Structure 1
């Protein structure tokens, strides 16, 4: 990945680190990794199959997706939450992946135009400040023909018990998980983001965390 940085957009996005919730979320996702991985593994194996040797990941957290990178590969990690960085470095070292850590927001990665063959995300677009800006940034840094590979939890269908639970729990959910929204139409956002092609699978997992049960996974090509 080139060290040349792109021109910054006029809108500035800032991440406000919360001391308690930041540390809580880092610990939560480390502890819950086996459980989340068990629920999402089949979909991750499909979407992340054949990743190239260098991958950009927005919001890699504590490194849940490092296991899908080839050994000896490089992860360009765009991660603003400093509580995640120590566990992420440790996880990268364990699996033999080189870590290029960028302490940036997903809306403004600072990476050059057309510099990435692949960008990945999982359980990230729910919590970014501006999903449309993030998707525009992903398109900007992807080379023509490059892929954006994603797994995200989304709003349930109107009239369902899941959707009702998401409405009821949205505020405590967002507070606990640092702005995470369980009500976003991320499928619509991705389909309207201007990618050349988009393939999306909808699926459901069954967990006690009801707002988290409705998901999408797919690949968008620049």
Structure 2
């Protein structure tokens, strides 16, 4: 399992990253999610409480952002945060301190966590697979690091059904949405990607938010078992 006292020493291992931080958008997104985080959490809280229930004492999170999911960890737990977006780091550290969670922050992309094979009991993500360059590669990495019987717990927004007004609007918004939110796609069929990832068992619940952010309204939440 992960050595909770281990870190990736500066310069010892070069972080594998293809994530390029845009100076303006990086700061904007850090501020945006700090301010809008409570509103987003209010919308998805029921689903997060279900899939993030009874998390173990050490959790790996891909795309920790400014720390929206720290509230679901027990005080004294360890969060191994895979977060390449440096403008998020200051707020993430402050949030971990507020929640009493030990933070092991790693500036790497989710496709290359640098963690050992079968070393992780639990991986979580929320609103991340929409943004990564290759969600299938990320899920392959999650499977690689999960120990037998481990779980990947997720809350993600996805493409609406083809031909619906929401899907048409998602298509119209796709370029400005992706530019503003650093590559985030509102048109990914992540349920299909999860089904194709090869997990031993997969539980997915689709649902819809009632929110003015129309491109963001169609969601899935669930648990994938290694």
Which interval holds the TM-score relative to the shorter structure? Answer: over 0.9
Q: Which residue of 2 aligns with 1:100?
A: 104
> Which residue number corresponds to residue 162 of structure 2?
158
1:204 equivalent in structure 2 = 208
* 1:25 aligned to which of 2, 25, 29: 29
Query: How many Å apart are 1:4 and its aligned residue?
Result: 8.8
Q: Conserved in 2, the CA contact under 8 Å of 1:106 and 1:128?
A: yes
Tell me if structure 2 keeps the 8 A contact 1:198–1:221.
Answer: yes
Are 1:71 and 1:96, in contact at CA under 8 Å, matched by a contact in 2? Answer: yes
2:113 to 109, 112, 123: 109
Contact 2:17 2:84 survives alignment (8 Å): no
SS in 2 for 1:200: strand
Q: Residue 74 of structure 1: CA displacement?
A: 0.2
- Picking from 37, 49, 59, the partner of 2:41 is 37
- Contact between 1:4 and 1:111, CA under 8 Å: does it hold in 2? no
Looking at structure 2, the residues matched to 131 and 195 of structure 1 have their Cα atoms a distance apart, in angstroms, of 14
Distance in 1, Cα, partners of 2:117 & 2:39 = 37
- Alignment correspondent of 1:190: 194
Describe how 1:32-181 pairs up with structure 2 within 5 A: 32-181=36-185
Which runs of 5 or more residues in structure 2 are unaligned?
A: 9-15
- Superposition CA RMSD, Å: 1.1
Partners of 1:31 and 1:190 lie apart in 2 by 30
Q: Give CA deviations for 1:140-189 in whole Å, capped at 9, x if unaligned.
A: 00000000000000000011110000000000000000000000000000
User: Any conservation in 1 of the 2:27–2:87 contact (CA below 8 Å)?
Assistant: yes
Q: Give how far 1:13 is off.
A: 4.6
Instruction: Please tell me whether the aligned partners of residues 118 and 147 of structure 1 are also in contact (alpha carbons under 8 angstroms).
Output: yes
Aligned length: 216
